[in-house]
Amino acid sequence: MSPPPSQPTSRWPVRPLTDDDWDEFVALDSHAFGSTMPEEAITADRALHRGARSIGVHDGTTLAGIATAYSYDISVPGGSSPAAAITWVGVLPTHRRQGVLRALMTSQLRSVHEAGREPLAILWASEPQIYGRFGYGLATRGLSMTVPRDPRALLTTVVSDPSLRLRLVDAADWKITAGVYDAVASVRPGMPARDELWWGQAVQDIPGMREGRSELRCVVAEDDGGVRAYARYRTKQSFDDGFGSGVVSVREVMGVDPAALASLYRYLFDLDLMGSTELWHRPVDDPLMSWLQNTRRAKPILGDALYVRLVDLDRALRGRSYATAVDAVLEVSDEICPWNAGRWRLTGGPDGSTCERTEDPADIALAVVDLGAVYLGGTTLTELALAGRVEERQPGSVAAAATAFAHSPAPWCPAVF
């Protein structure tokens, strides 16, 4: 086993950063991402950052690379799991492709492992090709589309409920929408739990980041029993040959039942003076795809979303339920977290599971990146086997395990962190 990069033998020693490093930390991020954040955004992020674990690599006295881990709970099949949410990853342009990220990633995963709290690490990638080598597998996808305000594209006659009323509320009032979010998270894996701090980020509305669009708005669909759906969105007005051709940009739309969700889609697709509605990263099984008259007119694009890394494989696999009974020996390779490598017997079903080391022959051989990909139940073992990434050693074992790992509804992560 090679020593962790925080050892003196590493070319890039990694050390923890504190709030005192904040200014240099933000400056590095700005160089790495090629943009300067507005002051208000920096202030808001600093509050989140105070509770996080940040690390850095120095070249002499110059901070050359950074990475942060927030503590999240995310919904997983059958419940929820602590997860280290990885973010603020950047390397100075002068130091790229010299192994700084590798030093940061290796050290960070080892720290999460040693702390023993989070069996998972999760992240959104600025570019999909970066993180597979560190064991992060693509676990959720999303559909982005632009729905034209055109009767040929709009909703078919879908479920409706005359008891529903629509009401505009203060967009910053997250408490009114928290119940809907939690209800959706209870059935969809991949959703981070939101406390007051994270809700603050979800409803953040920084004028310097509006890019000509309106302030953030919020509409709820409710009945006498309470709020059943909500949407946060902005609008950008424009006229084309005298016709309103503005754009509605939806930040988040969620509903606990079809009628409530459909009522908000109808609202978002039919605002006066608007010409189209942009939706970003909807669930791949969003009912909208059944409701649109003509899905082609919305030009949906499938994008990669949340990447999952099993930091402690046995705890992670025990931490979720399985759709059907499973009894399989997995032979796992993991160079970055060698404590995961080897053969594991996973036994379980809908009500719980065990995962123990074994010397028995393997049914399935795969890399930890692929186990991360299937963990939330979206990406299937079958598709990875078809891609030649998963090796079936015992005939029928991949199909059986794929059914057990799958989850419906599909996993979804509604927000970037």
Ligand X SMILES: CC(C)(COP(=O)(O)OP(=O)(O)OC[C@H]1O[C@@H](n2cnc3c(N)ncnc32)[C@H](O)[C@@H]1OP(=O)(O)O)[C@@H](O)C(=O)NCCC(=O)NCCS
Comparison of 33 and 239: residue with beta carbon closer to ligand X: 33
Q: How many CB atoms lie within 10 A of CB 109?
A: 23
Q: In the block, which residue shows the tokens 């016709």?
A: 243
Report CA torsion sign: 189, 192, 196, 199. negative
* Interface with ligand X (CB under 6 A): 32-33, 89-91, 96-102, 125-127, 129-130, 133
Q: How far is the CB of 129 from ligand X (least distance, A)?
A: 5
Structure tokens at 138: 């693509």
Active site annotation includes 307: no
Report CA torsion sign: 43, 44, 50, 52. negative
Q: How far is the CB of 133 from ligand X (least distance, A)?
A: 5
* Secondary structure (DSSP) of 73-103: EEEETTEEEEEEEEEEEEE-GGGTTSSHHHH
Q: How far is the CB of 33 from ligand X (least distance, A)?
A: 5
Give Cα 102 to chain centroid, integer Å.
22
Q: CB under 8 Å, gap of 24 or more: what pairs does 334-339 form?
A: 334/135, 334/367, 334/368, 336/105, 336/106, 336/109, 336/134, 336/135, 336/368, 337/109, 337/110, 337/113, 337/135, 337/311, 337/368, 338/1, 339/113, 339/312
Comparison of 93 and 226: residue with beta carbon closer to ligand X: 93
Report CA Rg, the chain: 23
Comparison of 44 and 125: residue with beta carbon closer to ligand X: 125
Q: How far is the CB of 317 from ligand X (least distance, A)?
A: 26
Q: How far is the CB of 36 from ligand X (least distance, A)?
A: 14
C-beta separation of 145 from 279 below 8 A = yes
Q: How far is the CB of 64 from ligand X (least distance, A)?
A: 8
C-beta separation of 18 from 77 below 8 A = no
Comparison of 11 and 299: residue with beta carbon closer to ligand X: 11
Comparison of 32 and 248: residue with beta carbon closer to ligand X: 32
Comparison of 89 and 109: residue with beta carbon closer to ligand X: 89
Q: How far is the CB of 219 from ligand X (least distance, A)?
A: 32
Active site annotation includes 233: no
| Beta carbons within 8 Å of 100's beta carbon, 6+ residues apart | 12, 57, 64, 65, 91
SS3 119: coil
Considering only CA atoms, which of 13, 112, 110, 105 is closest in space to residue 63? 13
Comparison of 90 and 372: residue with beta carbon closer to ligand X: 90
Residue 142 phi, psi dihedral angles, 5° rounding: -145, 155
Q: Give the active site residue among 131, 134, 269, 307.
A: 131
Cα 246 to Cα 154, 171, 210, 239, 275: the distances in Å are 17, 20, 15, 7, 5
Q: Give the active site residue among 72, 136, 230, 417.
A: 417
Q: Quote the DSSP letter at residue 282.
A: E
Residues labelled catalytic: 131, 417
